[in-house]
Amino acid sequence: MQNSPGGPGTTETEFTANFQSVVGLEPEQTSRVVNDPTNNPPQTLLIVKKPRAMERHKGGQIFIIGDDADRCLTSWLSGATDTASCMTALQVP
């Protein structure tokens, strides 16, 4: 089983599918954010708004603004990944 604690790592195929899912949600806006995050902050994207519960999301609130998972995602979208936040967010309690 993929993506489970202690299980095998994420495959390149899974990374590609995840990336395509993210970009496919709002391709034009995602391009603007990635190319110019200063004038187009990641917070404008549904991929950020939904887990923050700023937009309706059937999964409910997943991130709290500024928590490690939130910083990981928004820094990645800005092109300056906060690796420390990502590693902390990946820890399974």
Q: Note down pLDDT in tens along the chain; length 93 residues.
A: 445 656 677 888 988 898 888 888 899 999 999 899 999 999 999 999 999 999 988 889 999 999 999 999 999 999 899 999 999 998 866
Q: What is the pLDDT of residue 48?
A: 95
What residue segments make up the domains of the chain, in order of their start? Answer: 39-93
Which tokens hold the place of 80? Answer: 């300056």
Convert 52-64 to b/e letters by CB count within 10 Å (16 or more is b).
Answer: beeeeeeeeeebe
Residue 40 in contact with residue 29, Cβ under 8 Å?
A: yes
Q: What is the pLDDT of residue 5?
A: 59
Q: Amino acid identity of 78? A: S
User: What gap in Å lies between CA 43 and CA 62, rounded to an integer?
Assistant: 15
Quote the DSSP letter at residue 6. T
Q: What is the pLDDT of residue 1?
A: 41
